[in-house]
Amino acid sequence: MKTDPISADIKGAIFDLDGTLFDSMDFWSHLDERFLKRHGVASVPDDYMLEIAHLGAEETAIYTQKRFGLDMSPKEMMREWHDEAVVYYSDSVQLKPGAEEYLAKLKNEGVKLAVATANSRDLYMPALERLGLTGYFDAYAEVAEVGRKKGFPDIYELAAERLGVKPAECAVFEDIYVALTGAKAGGFRVVGVYDESSERDMDLILGITDAFVESFENCF
């Protein structure tokens, strides 16, 4: 059955990128594995990806350095991650099936679209340009701009403000439970998007969301 997860009175839609529109979580998981193994950590703990999924790059570096006691600064860690990620986002990252078609559907219906991401513009913008998606979005907001991570509503409020849409008239699409709780706290309609990396939190995600997307291919 094909069903749109947002109702007709929604005027704006805010999308996370990694794990929501971008099929990129596997890259980040393996990036961390490669990085940690290079620096003496034999295996990545099961909860590590969930702990960092909603953090910005600097917060992730600080958390990782403290958790594993690495003998390098957060800035050095971020530079090493960034260099590898630049190549991936510029050349390789792909959308989840049906994502572009769903964005086009919403755009054609007059829904204003925004990005809300913990990623940095120099990574995600080349990817959006390569994939031909920049024309869909009316606004962008980043965790680094608001000072609090996605467990709080700040980033979604900033995105909604830039769209000129009230939170109650706006849907937030996220794959991470903590991020969904932040959007919910801001009075947004929250739409969960399936990603394998968040499967262990599926009961929590289904319990908080107003709608759930197993695949964007089912949304039009």
Owning domain of residue 132: 12-24+94-218
Domain boundary at 72, 91, 110, which? Answer: 91
For residues 39 and 35, what is the distance between their CA atoms, to the nearest angstrom?
Answer: 6
Starting at the edge strand found earlier in the chain, the sheet holding 112-117 runs 139-142, 112-117, 12-15, 170-174, 189-193, 211-213
For residues 12 and 183, what is the distance between their CA atoms, to the nearest angstrom?
Answer: 14
In one-letter notation, the amino acid at residue 21 is L
82 and 154 part of one domain: no
User: Which pTM value belongs to this model?
Assistant: 0.88
101 and 149 part of one domain: yes
For residues 101 and 117, what is the distance between their CA atoms, to the nearest angstrom?
Answer: 20
Helical ranges in 120-201 per DSSP H = 121-130, 143-146, 154-163, 177-185
Q: Is residue 49 part of a domain?
A: yes
CB 177 within 8 A of CB 198: yes
Largest Cα separation within the chain, whole Å, is 53
Q: What is the pLDDT along the chain (220 residues), one digit of tens a residue?
A: 568 999 989 999 999 999 999 999 999 878 888 899 999 998 888 888 878 877 877 888 999 999 999 999 999 999 999 999 999 999 999 999 999 999 999 999 999 999 999 999 999 999 999 999 999 999 999 999 998 999 999 999 999 999 999 999 999 999 999 999 999 999 999 999 999 999 999 999 999 999 999 999 999 8
Q: Give the three-state DSSP class for 95.
A: strand
Q: Is residue 5 part of a domain?
A: no
Q: Is residue 2 part of a domain?
A: no
